[in-house]
Structure 1
Amino acid sequence: MSEEQKRQLESKLWGIANLLRGKISADDYRDYILGFIFYKYLSERQHLYANGLLETESSKDYLTLKDPDLLEAIKDESLQSLGYFLKPEELFASITAKGNASTETDSNYILEDLKAVLNHIEQSTMGTDSEEDFNDLFSDIDLSSNKIGRTVKARNEVVVQILNHLNSIDFRLEDIESDVLGDAYEYLIGKFAAGAGKTAGEFYTPQQVSKILAKIVTTGKTKLKSAYDPTTGSGSLLLRVAKEAEVSEFFGQELTRTTYNLARMNMILHGIHYRRFNIAQEDTLMHPQHLDYKFEAVVANPPFSAHWKGDDHSLFNSDERFSQYGRLAPKTKADFAFMQHMLYQLADNGIMASVFPHGVLFRGGAEGQIREYMIKEMNVLDAVIGLPANIFYGTTIPTCIVVLKKCREHDDNVVFIDASGDDNYIKVGNQNELRDSDVEKIIETYRNRETLDKYSYVASLAEIAENDHNLNIPRYVDTFEEEEIVDLDTTAEEIQQLDISLKSNEAVLKDFCEELGIKTPF
């Protein structure tokens, strides 16, 4: 599929989303649109897979298959290969066709049928390896909610309308690479994030920031055993890593149920087999689900300065993630708690890159002590990258990327990059946005460990110690622009000439006023 066809697909899907503007709030119709796109994808994938199994049978089209023995055989194969199963009458096309019934004997009411289908997709996986990946996957699609219509008839009409518009789009799964539809899905997630206000940060990291993180953690590698995101959101960061290197397994954890569902859908839509990802729904700091693993690549965009149980001394006394630092991160600022968690889960040959508010670079107290321990005792800080303000949806604050490595090749210095200057981004609407050239400059500077005038500086550990382990970027990267020297004699002459001109103009204006018989304004 060409880039033009891909853009057309994105435009069509966003057009369908726009049909619901004014009928359903943005936060609500996001869940319905994305959920129904996923249902259509599962249906088409089931249809294609089943047709492939029927090539040697007399019945060639799964949509019309009635043979119970063949259906049972296809079910077994589907659960093994796809991880789920849909009967012919449960396919997207079948439900949509029923929604278009218009005779007196055939009702077009499909809400109960659709609800049963979505439940059955989840139920079909029970007792199988994919059960956890499909459990409650469609729980955010509430077909009885007043949010999509005040009456049953109104709700049915809205759902039929969405299905009809989606049914008119050929996903062409047999002809395209898996990432094409997945990327279109990601495009929609980004568009929804743009209008979601403060909640956008819960599920979406801007693509250019994702690209920076992914390129950093894949530095020097084309294959990764594992990638991990402890605050998974929509899964976009993990999927971005997969664009930079071949990843065997994906791991993640997400607290918000809706976003957790979105992440699993996103992984499957990108063609990631259910056996290759393990995403859990829980509080990462208090109930980590993957502590037995160490990961080669760790990426994250944690919630900025979130509250957590930083006054829970049992964590300090017994939790290996935090106990060695001497202090716990403040209960009103979990930034360092996330950083410590990610460092604990990082493999010896791995790289961690995560977004944080600038406060982690210079705040004192417990955070200052933890920061000093990481730099002085563990020597894991590899780079600090300052990003422009207002590039994240839902917040305008400037942010930074902190890069940690347990086994650093360059263990006597730290790279500081200030990519926040006006020349390092463009303004798009109300947001600032990094260009591809800006991203490449950041990555090249990090990988080459270069000192560039007013942009980057390679600081020795001794210099950082002299600054009391304060990592505030202006301490290391001098972006001060000298003002142009003013020639006072020339300026005085210019002022004198202006004064002469002013007096001459006043004389002319006075003559005009006398001719007109009016008072002069001076």
Structure 2
Amino acid sequence: MADLENSKDLISVLWSGADILRSKMDANEYKDYLLGIVFYKYLSDSFLIKVYDLIYDEKPDSLKAALDAYKEALEDESAEELKEQIKSECHYVIEPDLTYTCFADAARNNSFNREQLQKAFNNIEQSDPLFVDLFTDIDLYSSRLGAGDQKQSDTISNLIKEIDKADLLNSDAEILGNAYEYLIGQFASETGKKAGEFYTPQAVSKILTRIAIAGQENRKGLSVYDPCMGSGSLLLNAKKYAAEPDYIKYYGQELNTSTFNLARMNMFLHGIVPENQVLRNGDTLDGDWPTGEETDFNMVLMNPPYSAKWSAAAGFLQDERFSEYGVLAPKSKADYAFLLHGLYHLKSKGTMAIVLPHGVLFRGAAEGKIREKLLRAGNIYAVIGLPANLFYNTSIPTCIVVLKKHRDGRDVLFIDASQKFEKGKKQNAMTDEHIDAVMELYKNRKTVEKESYLASFEDIEKNDFNLNIPRYVDNFEEEEEIDLDELLTSISTTDDEIEKTQAEFITLLKELTSTDEKIEASLSNLIRKMEG
């Protein structure tokens, strides 16, 4: 319960930080400032707590006490040794006057200096390849912060004071990670269409993760890969369902640099140690990655951009990811290119879950050929139709395609979850009950009337390899039979009521008079027409 309270307190502090910026810029911009400065506070506070622990082997009572102990230790002759030790554990060193604690004091005393914060950002970025260009998106000198130097500086200063109220000393990684996650979700809601670039709604993330981890929950050293990772939220879901979360290795790639930086921060804020995260800023389809030691994974999770354009250059036919299919995903729809990339990186006993538009289930031409090949190889394990309007950037209904690398059967389970949602103002939402119901159908792998259908390979072949869900799951609801006698009686009653009301209205009109001859004539005409 205390964790929940701490989490709520943290969220309200961070959200009031957003209020300082909300009137100045849109959510897509101010999320960079807010999340970046929260992250610097996290790095600084963690650093001071670690320093105090190294000196006294205990947790400090306050960050001020930790900063004082750090200053004192730096005057000691073993200061360099202490710095080396911290560097090896934290991967960075922060000088006392560049700690967040110092900045917050300066902000309260009206002596805050933006140059110092910029210097602090630069130092972190240069301390380890892990942090390269991490704060690039935070322009401390932007005119959006206010007109002129003083107002811009004041905005940052106010933000620092507000965020300083967040008690990270007594918040564990889970609380902080959840608060960060909540903020990202709120930004997605405010940002609308642009949110698709960095956020998969939690309900969809839960289903994807639970499907991909099923049967692998107890594996120590589980590897999870998301080639379109956005802010990393989907990847991080794995730790919620794993028996050995500390040993999970996360692999992710993201094309958008701002979003990539968000994912890097998100990883740290969830307490993921650097050794367990391998993240890359790059184009997933353009060149294959990863190609080093670790190239296939226990879990592959994906929510790629839907029907995106890609080059589909002929050279890709020689690319190992696509070569055995003989054709490429069309230029205007990269959906199958993303799917095949993910499948290529799946371990033989692993599971992949990807969200795509329904078109991938039935479109013909090259996509039809790829789909048939996948079905003949037994790669497609399940197809789940999701409710419409779940995502921030599109209202179209989507589906989850579940894939396996090598298995004995070629049957496919179809689940129609399109009605499992609660209607919201902007978006529809799936509750935990809805998610559990989908997982129950998935695990039982049986035909349930109007909900799921286990199709044999012969069923699919008869349908020309078309996987459109209504072909397999009939969710047609027969309308109630209409009692004609009852309907006729109802019509007759309504007619009587109309007649009665009209007669009353004509009586009222006849009582109206006017000295204007034109109006009087019009009234007479109207009464004549109504009397028929």
Query: Taking structure 1 as the reference length, what is the TM-score of the superposition?
Result: 0.91
Distance (whole Å) between structure 2 residues aligned to residue 56 and residue 404 of structure 1: 49
Structure 1: state its 5+ residue gaps. 103-107, 126-130
Instruction: Give the structure 2 partner of residue 128 of structure 1.
Output: none
Counting only pairs closer than 5 Å after superposition, residues 99-498 of structure 1 correspond to structure 2 as 99-102=107-110, 108-125=111-128, 131=129, 133-172=130-169, 175-224=170-219, 225-245=222-242, 246=245, 247-292=247-292, 293-310=295-312, 312-316=313-317, 318-376=318-376, 378-408=377-407, 411-421=409-419, 424-498=420-494
How far the C-alpha of 1:111 sits from its partner, in A, is 1.2
Distance (whole Å) between structure 1 residues aligned to residue 259 and residue 95 of structure 2: 28
How far the C-alpha of 1:418 sits from its partner, in A, is 1.3
Instruction: Give the structure 2 partner of residue 55 of structure 1.
Output: 56
Question: Match of 1:124, as an amino acid?
Answer: S
Question: Match of 2:469, as an amino acid?
Answer: I
8 Å CA contact 1:63, 1:89 repeated in 2: no
CA gap of 1:69–1:407, structure 2 versus 1, over 3 A, is farther
CA gap of 1:63–1:429, structure 2 versus 1, over 3 A, is farther
Distance (whole Å) between structure 2 residues aligned to residue 396 and residue 236 of structure 1: 21
Instruction: Give the structure 2 partner of residue 12 of structure 1.
Output: 13
Tell me the number of residue pairs that the alignment of Structure 1 and Structure 2 aligns.
503
Distance (whole Å) between structure 2 residues aligned to residue 515 and residue 204 of structure 1: 67
3-state SS of paired residue (2:237): helix
Deviates more, 1:55-64 or 1:391-400: 55-64
CA gap of 1:498–1:288, structure 2 versus 1, over 3 A, is same
3-state SS of paired residue (2:22): coil
Query: CA deviation digits over 1:26-72, x for unaligned, max 9?
Result: 22211010000000000110001000111179997225543254432
Counting only pairs closer than 5 Å after superposition, residues 24-63 of structure 1 correspond to structure 2 as 24-55=25-56, 61-63=69-71
Structure 2: state its 5+ residue gaps. 59-64, 514-522
CA gap of 1:169–1:375, structure 2 versus 1, over 3 A, is same
How far the C-alpha of 1:170 sits from its partner, in A, is 1.2
Query: CA deviation digits over 1:463-511, x for unaligned, max 9?
Result: 1111111111111111111111123233334434444555556566666
Instruction: Give the structure 1 partner of residue 517 of structure 2.
Output: none
Query: CA deviation digits over 1:254-296, x for unaligned, max 9?
Result: 1111111110100000000001000011111112321341100
Q: Does 1:92 align with 2:100?
A: yes
CA RMSD across the alignment:
2.2
CA gap of 1:153–1:504, structure 2 versus 1, over 3 A, is closer
Deviates more, 1:137-146 or 1:301-310: 137-146
CA gap of 1:257–1:508, structure 2 versus 1, over 3 A, is closer
Question: Match of 2:178, as an amino acid?
Answer: D
The structure that has the greater radius of gyration is 2
Query: CA deviation digits over 1:96-139, x for unaligned, max 9?
Result: 2233445xxxxx241111111111112222xxxxx2x2111111
Distance (whole Å) between structure 2 residues aligned to residue 192 and residue 506 of structure 1: 56
CA gap of 1:452–1:61, structure 2 versus 1, over 3 A, is same
Question: Match of 1:489, as an amino acid?
Answer: D
Instruction: Give the structure 2 partner of residue 74 of structure 1.
Output: 82
Distance (whole Å) between structure 2 residues aligned to residue 52 and residue 194 of structure 1: 40
Distance (whole Å) between structure 1 residues aligned to residue 356 and residue 272 of structure 2: 28
8 Å CA contact 2:40, 2:100 repeated in 1: yes
Query: CA deviation digits over 1:144-184, x for unaligned, max 9?
Result: 22232332222211111111111122123xx4431110110
CA gap of 1:502–1:170, structure 2 versus 1, over 3 A, is closer
Distance (whole Å) between structure 2 residues aligned to residue 165 and residue 501 of structure 1: 66
How far the C-alpha of 1:449 sits from its partner, in A, is 1.1
3-state SS of paired residue (1:268): helix
Query: CA deviation digits over 1:372-400, x for unaligned, max 9?
Result: 11001x11101111111111112111111
Question: Match of 1:188, as an amino acid?
Answer: L
Distance (whole Å) between structure 1 residues aligned to residue 152 and residue 501 of structure 2: 74
Distance (whole Å) between structure 2 residues aligned to residue 359 and residue 332 of structure 1: 13
CA gap of 1:253–1:515, structure 2 versus 1, over 3 A, is closer
3-state SS of paired residue (2:116): helix
8 Å CA contact 1:386, 1:417 repeated in 2: yes
Distance (whole Å) between structure 1 residues aligned to residue 72 and residue 137 of structure 2: 31
Question: Match of 1:66, as an amino acid?
Answer: L
3-state SS of paired residue (1:275): helix
CA gap of 1:503–1:314, structure 2 versus 1, over 3 A, is closer
CA gap of 1:483–1:85, structure 2 versus 1, over 3 A, is same
Distance (whole Å) between structure 1 residues aligned to residue 507 and residue 30 of structure 2: 71
Distance (whole Å) between structure 2 residues aligned to residue 169 and residue 462 of structure 1: 60
Question: Match of 2:92, as an amino acid?
Answer: Y
Aligned identity (percent) is 44
8 Å CA contact 1:28, 1:147 repeated in 2: no
8 Å CA contact 2:6, 2:175 repeated in 1: no
Question: Match of 2:94, as an amino acid?
Answer: L
Distance (whole Å) between structure 1 residues aligned to residue 148 and residue 503 of structure 2: 80
How far the C-alpha of 1:413 sits from its partner, in A, is 1.7
Question: Match of 2:114, as an amino acid?
Answer: L
